[in-house]
Amino acid sequence: MTRTRIFGGVRPTEHLTLADYLGALRRWADEDQHRAEALFCVVDLHALTVDHDPARVRRLSRQAVTLLLAVGLDPRQCTVFVQSHVAEHTRLAYLMECTAGDDEMRRMVQYREKAERERARGGSVRLSLLTSPALMAADVLAYGTDEVAVGEGQAQHLELTRDLAVRFNQRYGQTFVVPRATCPAEVTRVMDLQDPASAMGTSPARRAGVVHLLDEAEAVREKVMGAVTDAGPDVVYDRAARPGVANLLDVLAACDGGDPEKLAAEYDSYGALKKDTAEAVVELLRPVRERHAELVADPGYVDSVLRDGAGRARGMARPRVDAAYRGVGLLPVG
């Protein structure tokens, strides 16, 4: 029996956050890499779909890889690699562009909203932003992926990936596994500490509401202690009416494995809740930060992980992408 294949992608556009950790990375490290054949990829090509600073993308890519290892992904258990190191992604993305319709791409909400915003300012988005769902489909389909861990924001893109897989298989013969999205319900959705209506890390302007994985303890305390809470004196867990307090309770519960409603009963002031939450986050992130520092001091090790990861990923993707090339009618080398 072949093991379930999982693909997880992180974009090196921003620093990784507490929301990334509690929403995905922790589970990748604790569960997914052990139960499945898992690939975790820093999708650097996707970082070029928006205005970017080359030095920053380079820095954030390296940091993302190092953080994936620091949170506990073990290269003996899973494959950690950088997308641009494996040419199969772009090779297959072209075939995905030949499978998708332009209307289908233009319907993607993420593209429409961004394009709209840019147009309102008299600018435009990069063509690669429009076609990025084809690249994402290639990322996933190249590996015969069964499961993809995606946040709500990516659900539409994964639906498109599934459509493209089915269509390609119908047109050219069985080539791709049709992947399913896993949006684990029990995973904590961490909201911005300053704006608990938005997911943490989704509004770049709000630095004070975002805890980054590499934040110093003092910075974490400052951000958590400065979190907006709601009107009303008592601590109750009510996501709709008291989103600020509920977010703190969710974070505290996610750190310590507790239940947010039960935790609410233990507090009679926001101050005490914030203080405990801040300390819980500091302790949660401490080993990650320490491990990250060790890895930064050992660049040769990180390089070797990337080399091995790229080699393994290439080996997994190559046969399927070659088969897809033959399937659409391209002449084999011979």
CB of 39 to ligand TRP, least distance (A): 10
- Verify binding: residue 223, ligand TRP, rule CB under 6 A: no
Interaction residues for ligand TRP, span 269-328 (CB under 6 A): none
What is the three-class DSSP state of 284? Answer: helix
**Closest to ligand TRP by CB, 41 or 252:** 41
CB of 48 to ligand TRP, least distance (A): 12
How far CA 296 is from CA of 15, 59, 143, 287, in Å, comes to 16, 12, 29, 14
- Using CB atoms within 10 Å of the CB of residue 218, give its burial: 0 to 12 exposed, 13 to 18 middle, 19+ buried: exposed
Piece of 5-13, 62-70, 228-236, 290-298 that binds ligand TRP (CB under 6 A) = 5-13
Among 5, 26, 46, 320, binds ligand TRP (CB under 6 A): 46
Piece of 52-60, 136-144, 231-239, 270-278 that binds ligand TRP (CB under 6 A) = 136-144
Contact present, 2 and 166 (Cβ < 8 Å): no
Piece of 7-15, 92-100, 289-297, 299-307 that binds ligand TRP (CB under 6 A) = 7-15
CB of 226 to ligand TRP, least distance (A): 27
Among 139, 192, 195, 250, binds ligand TRP (CB under 6 A): 139
CA distance 330 to 275: 62
- Verify binding: residue 11, ligand TRP, rule CB under 6 A: yes
What is the three-class DSSP state of 299? Answer: helix
Among 96, 142, 148, 321, binds ligand TRP (CB under 6 A): 148
- Verify binding: residue 150, ligand TRP, rule CB under 6 A: yes
Contacts 24+ apart (CB under 8 A), 86-91: 86/310, 86/313, 86/314, 86/317, 87/314, 88/138, 88/142, 88/313, 88/314, 88/317, 88/318, 88/321, 89/45, 89/135, 89/138, 89/139, 89/142, 89/317, 90/45, 90/135, 90/138, 91/138, 91/321, 91/325
- Verify binding: residue 43, ligand TRP, rule CB under 6 A: yes
CB of 234 to ligand TRP, least distance (A): 38
For 85-218, strand residue ranges (E) read: 147-149, 180-182
Among 33, 79, 154, 229, binds ligand TRP (CB under 6 A): 154
- Verify binding: residue 140, ligand TRP, rule CB under 6 A: yes
Residue type, 27: R
Interaction residues for ligand TRP, span 48-87 (CB under 6 A): none
- Verify binding: residue 168, ligand TRP, rule CB under 6 A: no
- Using CB atoms within 10 Å of the CB of residue 185, give its burial: 0 to 12 exposed, 13 to 18 middle, 19+ buried: exposed
For residue 95, give every residue at least 6 positions away whose Cβ sits within 8 Å of its Cβ, in sequence order, or none. 138, 168, 324, 325, 328
Among 16, 39, 136, 317, binds ligand TRP (CB under 6 A): 136
- Verify binding: residue 246, ligand TRP, rule CB under 6 A: no
Applying CB under 6 A, the residues found at the interface with ligand TRP are 7, 9, 11, 43, 46, 136, 139-140, 148, 150, 154, 157
